[in-house]
Structure 1
Amino acid sequence: MFYWLLKRIVLGPILKALFRPWVKGLENVPASGGAILASNHLSFSDSFFLPLMVPRRITFLAKADYFTGRGIKGRTTAAFFRGVGQVPIDRSGGRAGEAALRTGLRVLRRGDLLGIYPEGTRSPDGRLYRGKTGVARLALEAKVPVLPVAMIDTDKVQPIGQRIPRIRRVGMIIGEPMDFSRYEGMEGDRFILRSITDEIMYELMKLSGQEYVDVYASTVKARLATVARERFEELAARGREVLDKRDGDRHGTAERPEEPDAAAADAVVAGAAEEVASAEGPVAPDSPAEDGGDLATHNGVARPDVVEQVDPVEERNPRAS
């Protein structure tokens, strides 16, 4: 009830008036029955604009942190996310990942639409990253089609770290349903799961026009966070050194220090701030078989071309063998 109240009366009309969202391929969404909407993930607002434009209700899997807050703010946030059709999942892996898959299966088996982000988190730089195989396992176990969805320009409306959206037009392209019934009964084969996932990511690449990087977005975010921490530590050390010199100068035990390079300090702070990723939004659950997902696919399935190879040892070329 709350879902439809927000969509049709409270929030929906305001979003449509301000952002004038457009959609192509709406006819590809089935009128009934379960299906997976697998989308690229550019912005926190993706989970608002896609349900706004699809007539049927969409349930997303969201990180449990949104539902466990304390106080009035925490309870309000939890009530809001439940109201807009999001279901909490624990993303810590292992049994939690299995529980997330079970939750998604319940949604699909009751004939509803499940929204999922195969990348597992928002893109840190607007490119399309390697998909996690949970989406493939869900499709096979629930025996439902997958609809690739490309969100357009939502990262310009609300980039990572920005709380208040900018007013500009956004769009989405819904591709034709992808049928993986030829792999029925093979959901335990990690090679098959990787092959299906890469096929989905290839369609997302074509629809969105994004560059593809054959690395997990979470890996890139972790590396960026490490760089950011190092830069902050460098700036802090520089500040301590300047303060120590000034203290010595006041007591006549040191020469007057040179003025600190303010421009360099500002650059360190700005660069780190841009690179530290903020809290993620709704995500795709990891498949328990994901630990074997780095191996190349087979059966001649088309794979996205590599644009950047960050780590040739850990990450594999996604071209079809």
Structure 2
Amino acid sequence: MRGSDRLFRALARLVLKAFFREVEAVGAERIPLHRPLVLVANHVNGLIDPILLMGPLPVIPRFLAKSTLWKNPLVRPFLDLAGAIPVYRRQDEGADPAKNAETFSRSHELLARGGALALFPEGTSHSDPALKPLKTGAARIVLEAERRFPGIGTRIIPVGLLFDAKQTFRSRALVQVGEPLDPAPEIALDAQDPIAAA
């Protein structure tokens, strides 16, 4: 674990202790620690959501984050120190989606080194009780990483972030880790029909 990872874990735990009366992580033992991982979580509480993935879980992932966050001079140093990777979304003013080729390349290389990547496939934070439609980025990253680095064995880890009273200071949060998903069947399908696999 990098020194900055230890620092971020300590900061994340400090923030969580300040904001929440209790943070419970259920199923964290399901996370395989010695293989590439893509954590996919719902996104209902803005910048708190990545902190919930850093504090109680046994891995420190690198995050995909919207490129516009780098425009905030207070947030930018933390993003850089955390090794976050910018995503250039069409809906963001001034963003150039063509730069996402580098985003995908950095994500693939991280997975090839056995790292963990986290993203929020809904694409934006919201307060709706149900999931928003999911973007295909996580699937594309895993399939393309396998294409570039065959046999790396990435696992997709579904994570649910739940709050008993999201708007209430010192409420409770639950980080629910699902069973790891093996994308091998989709990787085999991708070799035959990349559009159907994604």
TM-score range, shorter chain: 0.7 to 0.9
> How much does 1:113 deviate?
0.7
Name the SS of the counterpart of 1:173 in structure 2: strand
* Pairing of 1:258-269 with structure 2 (within 5 A): none
Greater strand share, structure number: 2
Structure with the larger RCO, 1 or 2 (CA within 8 Å, 6+ apart): 2
Q: Which residue of 2 aligns with 1:54?
A: 57
Among 130, 139, 144, the residue aligned to 1:141: 144
* Pairing of 1:99-248 with structure 2 (within 5 A): 99-143=102-146, 144-153=154-163, 156-157=165-166, 166-184=169-187, 186=190, 189-193=194-198
Among 53, 77, 80, the residue aligned to 1:79: 77
Distance 1:2 1:94 in 2: 29
Alignment CA distance shift 1:3-1:31 (3 Å): closer
1:29 aligns with 2:31: yes
Name the SS of the counterpart of 2:39 in structure 1: strand
Q: Which runs of 5+ in 1 are unaligned?
A: 159-164, 194-321
TM-score (norm 2): 0.80
Q: Which residue of 1 aligns with 2:71?
A: 68
Distance 1:166 1:7 in 2: 21
Greater helix share, structure number: 1
Distance 1:97 1:17 in 2: 35
Distance 1:2 1:183 in 2: 35
Q: Which residue of 2 aligns with 1:16?
A: 17
> How much does 1:14 deviate?
4.7
Provide, for residues 79-108 of structure 1, a one-character-per-residue CA deviation record: whole Å limited to 9, x for no partner: 122234422232236523333222221221
**Number of residue equivalences:** 180
Please tell me whether the aligned partners of residues 13 and 56 of structure 2 are also in contact (alpha carbons under 8 angstroms): no
Q: Which runs of 5+ in 2 are unaligned?
A: 91-95, 147-153
Please tell me whether the aligned partners of residues 119 and 138 of structure 2 are also in contact (alpha carbons under 8 angstroms): yes
Distance 1:95 1:67 in 2: 17
Please tell me whether the aligned partners of residues 140 and 181 of structure 1 are also in contact (alpha carbons under 8 angstroms): no
Please tell me whether the aligned partners of residues 149 and 175 of structure 1 are also in contact (alpha carbons under 8 angstroms): yes
CA RMSD across the alignment: 2.3
Please tell me whether the aligned partners of residues 39 and 117 of structure 1 are also in contact (alpha carbons under 8 angstroms): yes
Distance 1:22 1:150 in 2: 12
**Greater CA radius of gyration, 1 or 2?**
1
Distance 1:106 1:80 in 2: 21
Name the SS of the counterpart of 2:55 in structure 1: helix
Provide, for residues 181-221 of structure 1, a one-character-per-residue CA deviation record: whole Å limited to 9, x for no partner: 1222517622221xxxxxxxxxxxxxxxxxxxxxxxxxxxx
